[in-house]
Amino acid sequence: MRYTLSSLTKPLAIAAFVGTMTIAGMFNAQAQSTSPTLYEQLGGKEAITKVVHDMILNVAADNRINHFFAKTNIPHLQMELVTQVCEGTGGPCKYTGLSMRQAHKGMHLNTADFNALVEDLQKSMDSNHVPLGLQNQLLAILAPMQPDVVHQ
């Protein structure tokens, strides 16, 4: 068999490509294993507990929505919220509370109620100096829950 330039370069090019992919893959895997989770970037359980705690204080002072919480066991709610945020942001927690649909059933919450709670959370994140990029990442995790929270 005669080796033309192209018959030699093609396998070489493919080998180089596969090699690149493998090395890129290795770098990628390394990047994934070392890049901090949102949980870590937020400062872990303690920092999340502080943000949730201050959000609840903001809710308690928020006349638009505080009536919903009149009979709520606040320490229990705080514990469930912290666990949920911990798990949702990639932390070492397992949320075992009610589903969002069950938890808010019969409350007849609307979008304005939902937005008020989000504002109270943002206020807490601001006062705890959570960078805007991280705030948006947390809100992006909570936003898809809206259909299960409102109009139940």
> Which residues of the chain form contacts with ligand HEM (CB under 6 A)?
65, 68-69, 71-72, 77, 80-81, 84, 97-98, 103-104, 109, 113-114, 117, 142, 145, 149
Nearer CB in complex with ligand HEM: 41/84: 84
Q: Which is nearest to 89 in space by CA: 148, 43, 28?
A: 43
SS3 call for 52: helix
Q: Rounded distance, CA 147 to CA 21, Å? A: 41
User: Minimal distance in Å, beta carbon 80 to ligand HEM?
Assistant: 4
User: Minimal distance in Å, beta carbon 70 to ligand HEM?
Assistant: 8
User: Minimal distance in Å, beta carbon 24 to ligand HEM?
Assistant: 37
Q: Are 143 and 130 in contact (CB under 8 A)?
A: no
Nearer CB in complex with ligand HEM: 7/72: 72
Q: Rounded distance, CA 129 to CA 131, Å? A: 6
User: Minimal distance in Å, beta carbon 92 to ligand HEM?
Assistant: 18
| 89 CB-contact burial (10 Å; exposed 0-12 / middle 13-18 / buried 19+) | buried
Nearer CB in complex with ligand HEM: 47/118: 118
